Amino acid sequence: MKKTAMLSTLLAVGIILSSCNTIENDTSAPQENADSSIGLQEETDAYKQFALEQMDQFVMETEKFVTAVKNGELEEAKTIYPLARMYFERSEPIAESFGDLDPRIDARLADIQDEGLGEENWSGYHKIEYGLWVENTTEGYEDIADQLLKDAKELRARVETVEVTPDLMITGSVDLLNEVSTSKITGEEEIYSHTDLYDFKANIEGAEKIFEILKDKIAAKDADLVNELTTNFSSINELLAKYEDGNGGYISYLELTKEDTKALSEAVNHLGEPLSQMGIIME
């Protein structure tokens, strides 16, 4: 669930949106610029297909997770939990466009309380996370698990209706990094399970996918930017690889030192600034 953005990120997004609005309002601009989707249909179609594939996997893994919860398989549920969530995290630019479903699936207790609501209004993955890691049980979470699966299926169906635009993709890539630089880097997202590095990796992969889809068009205008982003994505992925657990996952976020989190934060910041330039390049 989105948290408060860094000022630099907000400025970057503002530049992107301002540029798009300027083009839309300038009747003297060539027609292909007046409609930002013209010339990028292949790219927006590719991103929607990616999001649908992620949602398909999200539903499948959520079904496994819910089955484990309802069968009382505590350790199995804990194993599936971070892996299932990665599919949601990769496609958040689209998933978060549904303001009612996103909090039902992904809200932390702090998010609910910030809205002036009580714990009785809390549902979704993080609610069950509390049961698994704090209460160390699946008992009493069966109905919440059933609702989670219903919400996941509804989200998958609604993604079919989304109109993907270049703006959604570009601002989405910046937002994904912002998720890392705010909630993920502090460890507040997965406050009970400490599986933040899975979310961290998934957000990076989601942003990188958008870059990969747009890369050829960006390269035609600024090859240096493409080279910089390619290098920076490679660097942050190499850094994350240091924290793999050898079993296809990641170590607990509690095992990271202050030096580790500082290095991750710096890598995200180095990536964020040039990533925000995509919006300017794609004018």
At 2, the pLDDT band (50, 70, 90 cuts) reads very low
Percent of the chain with pLDDT over 90: 67
- Quick: pLDDT tens for 110-126: 988 988 888 888 999 99
In a domain, 253, yes or no: yes
Domain of residue 259, CATH code: 1.20.1420.20
Q: What is the mean pLDDT of the segment spanning 40-61?
A: 96
In a domain, 129, yes or no: yes
Output the pTM of the full model.
Answer: 0.85
In a domain, 1, yes or no: no
At 207, the pLDDT band (50, 70, 90 cuts) reads very high
In a domain, 189, yes or no: yes
The answer to whether residue 35 scores a pLDDT higher than 70 is no
In a domain, 239, yes or no: yes
In a domain, 249, yes or no: yes
Nearest in space to 184 (alpha carbons), one of 211, 207, 168? 207
- Quick: pLDDT tens for 79-135: 999 999 999 999 999 988 887 898 999 999 998 898 888 888 899 999 999 999 999
Q: What is the mean pLDDT of the segment spanning 143-166?
A: 95
Coil, strand or helix at 250: strand
How many domains is the chain partitioned into structurally?
Answer: 1
Q: Which domain holds residue 96?
A: 7-281
In a domain, 152, yes or no: yes
In a domain, 2, yes or no: no
- How many angstroms separate the CA atoms of 228 and 238, rounded? 15
6/277: higher pLDDT: 277
- How many angstroms separate the CA atoms of 126 and 109, rounded? 8
Sign of CA dihedral 1, 191, 135, 138: positive
